[in-house]
Amino acid sequence: MTYPSIYPTGTTIYDPSRCWSGYTVFQAKELGALLIDMNGAEVKLWKGLHGLPNKILPGGYVLGSTGERNTKYGMQDYQDVVQVDWDGKVVWRFNEHEYIEDPGEQPQWMARHHHDFQREGNPVGYYAPGLEPQPLSGNTLVLVHKNAHNPNISDKLLLDDAFVEVDWDGQIVWEWVLNEHFDEFEWSEEARNILSRDPNLRNCGGDWMHVNSMSALGPNKWFDAGDARFHPDNLIWSAREANIIGITDKSSGKVVWHIGPDYAASPALKKLGWIIGKHHAHLIPRGLPGEGHLLVFDNGGWAGYGAPNPGAPKGTKNALRDYSRVLEIDPVSLKIVWQYTPAEAGYRMPMDANRFYSPFVSSAQRLPNGNTLITEGSGGRIIEVTAEHQIVWEYISPHFGTSSRFNMVYRAYRLPYEWVPQLDAPRETPVEPVDVAAFRMPGAAEPGAREVTEVAGVKPYQRTEALCVVSSADLVKD
């Protein structure tokens, strides 16, 4: 897909009558944690606060990190998880996970946090009625890195993932380490072979799983009906590089539910289709439309281990797809309940499928009115879509990196105005979609300003597109 060099940024579409309006928070590249209103006005910046991701707690508190480890010695290792107040004062910090002594660097305690954390009181960290995260108390679940050696996987050093639960005093009270559960997944012989040779090697070890989301399940109908796999305290997580979504039993430590790495393991998985390189897998919290369903941004792109193919001659990143999907899935039947794919976005499949495509980062949040907030992160685009797939809000981040035109947004969250009592609720002004066929930059020629000559004997051009249209459902059939 090609992108124009000039395009509008900020809020480009806003229908207040159909949106669940509130503030939106995200990491604005190098600037910090940024809070915007529905019209794109930047109402608060916590300058320099890193966000993988940033989250707002009731009372105008924001979670993030104060800095990242030198990338010569780590990858996405953040020094700490902090909570700051409206004025930027640190009111809570966790960093005492590992004492780091990198060559040439000041020795320090470090959380090695990456990609996710959740404060007690709310399983997923975004608004759900009656499930408010605790702003000044409670435990915090943190996704962290650990170095590991496991000859059952590879003789190479592993950059492994772990979950820790930290109390308000910063003490670790529970830990779960992923590599210890390698044999609880159905790895093919090809996958085992490639993992042994190359567990996704980086400068700091083999990033073999690359977990990028982790949350508690929270209260849900499956557990209420007697399915112990869905205990509210259990944790759901997604591993980007292995194409796995799993649920960890918090009490026993066992993986009690998972999809992937083998999407041919059952008829239900075959019908579901490959979920590749995904982000932000979680159960929709109680109190929201679709509660109990799995919501995930299925990036596509490249991920997985297995048999070599023309796109992956060594068998690494061997699953490939050049478009994204947002999926709402019944986690018991594995049926797709709702989806947003290029087809629902109005593009022709498969020719224009990559018009909805973020091969990395990204997220999805269910809103109280049934809409879904989607972060199509690689292009800095955040949209709110209705259950009928209509875009009622669109925002393009105007914040680009200093070294490239790269306005990536890792993950965005919508929150109610009342979570930020320091501000008065803003005025909500509709933004009508622009007719891009008629829009011109100032100074450019107006559309239709042309001399027209009819050519004798030539019939008006007609094109039939019906034979070219393929639905997203057709693409996952056997």
Instruction: List, in order of start, the domains of the chain with CATH numbers.
Output: 10-435+451-476 (2.120.10.30)
Residue 16 phi, psi dihedral angles, 5° rounding: -55, -30
With a cut of 60, say whether residue 75 has pLDDT above it. yes
Structure-derived torsion over alpha carbons of residues 120, 124, 128, 134, reported in degrees to the nearest 10: 20
Confidence of residue 445 (pLDDT cuts 50, 70, 90): confident
Question: In the predicted model, what is the mean pLDDT of residues 289-312?
Answer: 96
Quickly count: other Cβ atoms within 10 Å of residue 307's Cβ.
13
Question: In the predicted model, what is the mean pLDDT of residues 344-368?
Answer: 96
**172, 238, 354, 379, 391 from 3: Cα distances, Å:** 46, 30, 11, 9, 20
Structure-derived torsion over alpha carbons of residues 210, 216, 217, 219, reported in degrees to the nearest 10: -170
What is the β-pairing status of strands 154-166 and 140-150? antiparallel
With a cut of 70, say whether residue 473 has pLDDT above it. no
Residue length, the chain? 478
**73, 392, 393 from 431: Cα distances, Å:** 46, 10, 9
pLDDT of residue 418: 97
With a cut of 60, say whether residue 477 has pLDDT above it. no
What's the pLDDT tens digit per position in 136-172? 999 999 999 999 999 999 999 999 999 999 999 999 9
Quickly count: other Cβ atoms within 10 Å of residue 90's Cβ.
12
> C-alpha 420: how far from its chain's center?
24
pLDDT of residue 454: 85
With a cut of 90, say whether residue 3 has pLDDT above it. no
pTM of the model as a whole: 0.94
The CA-to-CA distance between both ends of the chain, in Å, stands at 27
Question: In the predicted model, what is the mean pLDDT of residues 89-102?
Answer: 97
pLDDT of residue 478: 39
pLDDT of residue 247: 98
Question: In the predicted model, what is the mean pLDDT of residues 59-73?
Answer: 96
**58, 145, 203 from 76: Cα distances, Å:** 27, 9, 12
Share of the chain above pLDDT 70, in %: 95
Of 137, 58, 25, 9, nearest to 398 (Cα)? 9
pLDDT of residue 475: 46
What's the pLDDT tens digit per position in 381-413? 999 999 999 999 999 999 998 766 789 999 999
With a cut of 60, say whether residue 472 has pLDDT above it. no
Question: In the predicted model, what is the mean pLDDT of residues 54-74?
Answer: 96
With a cut of 80, say whether residue 462 has pLDDT above it. no
pLDDT of residue 222: 98
Q: Which of 285-294, 331-340, 416-425, 447-456 has the lowest mean pLDDT?
A: 447-456
Quickly count: other Cβ atoms within 10 Å of residue 24's Cβ.
25
What's the pLDDT tens digit per position in 308-318? 999 999 999 99
Exposed / middle / buried, residue 183 (Cβ in 10 Å: 0-12, 13-18, 19+): exposed
In the predicted model, what is the mean pLDDT of the chain? 94
Handedness of CA 440, 443, 444, 446 (dihedral sign): positive
| pLDDT: which is higher, 476 or 124 | 124
pLDDT of residue 444: 87
pLDDT of residue 404: 67
**168, 222, 252, 295, 333 from 227: Cα distances, Å:** 31, 6, 15, 19, 13
Question: In the predicted model, what is the mean pLDDT of residues 269-295?
Answer: 97
Of 72, 112, 295, nearest to 203 (Cα)? 72
With a cut of 70, say whether residue 132 has pLDDT above it. yes
The token pair that represents 239 in the structure block: 């591993």
Share of the chain above pLDDT 90, in %: 87
Confidence of residue 127 (pLDDT cuts 50, 70, 90): very high
- Which residue matches tokens 């965005």? 412
